[in-house]
């Protein structure tokens, strides 16, 4: 069974990628789906006076909540999945987690900002494409 990583952040583009993967499971072949929610790791200046562990736990909770809709979609479709929460740079964390889990594919949504906005704002999808060592499918 092919292992697939789907980065989720609660956005509609991410949920489209989840729906796409669910349909693949139902129409073609079963997939071992791994949902990944990534929150930026706290910076030192953000933790002044607040325990780092408390901030990290809060960020993990936010990431877990961001994946709730994705889990609901897969549960409703009867598609098994595993959820993961990580802290760090999104693109780097997605690429690293893909390797750690032994996933052979990444399926992710794109916001469709276009060339100029994507260059100006930076694009997690573009960065993942450059960092990943496995095929990446973008769902618009």
Angle between helices 12-27 and 68-77 (to 10 degrees): 20
- Give strand pairing partners of 109: 139
All domains in the chain, ordered by first residue: 2-139 (3.40.50.620)
Residue-wise pLDDT for 28-67, tens only, equals: 888 999 999 998 877 666 666 666 677 778 888 888 899 9
**pLDDT tens-digit profile of 83-114?**
999 989 999 999 999 999 999 999 999 875 55
Can you state the percent helix, strand and coil of the chain, rounding each to 5? 50, 20, 25
**Lookup: tokens for 16:** 């489209």
């Amino acid at each position: 069974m092919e292992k697939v990583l789907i980065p989720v952040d609660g956005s509609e583009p991410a949920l489209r990628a989840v729906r796409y993967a669910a349909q693949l499971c139902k129409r073609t072949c079963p997939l071992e789906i791994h949902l990944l929610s990534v929150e930026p790791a706290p910076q030192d200046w953000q933790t002044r006076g607040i325990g780092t562990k408390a901030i990290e736990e809060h960020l993990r909770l936010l990431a877990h909540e961001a994946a709730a809709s994705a889990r609901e979609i897969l549960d409703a479709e009867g598609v098994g999945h595993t959820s993961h929460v990580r802290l760090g740079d999104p693109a780097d964390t997605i690429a690293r987690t893909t390797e750690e889990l032994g996933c052979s594919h990444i399926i992710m949504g794109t916001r469709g900002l276009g060339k100029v906005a994507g260059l100006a704002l930076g694009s997690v999808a573009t960065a993942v494409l450059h960092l990943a060592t496995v095929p990446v499918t973008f769902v618009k």
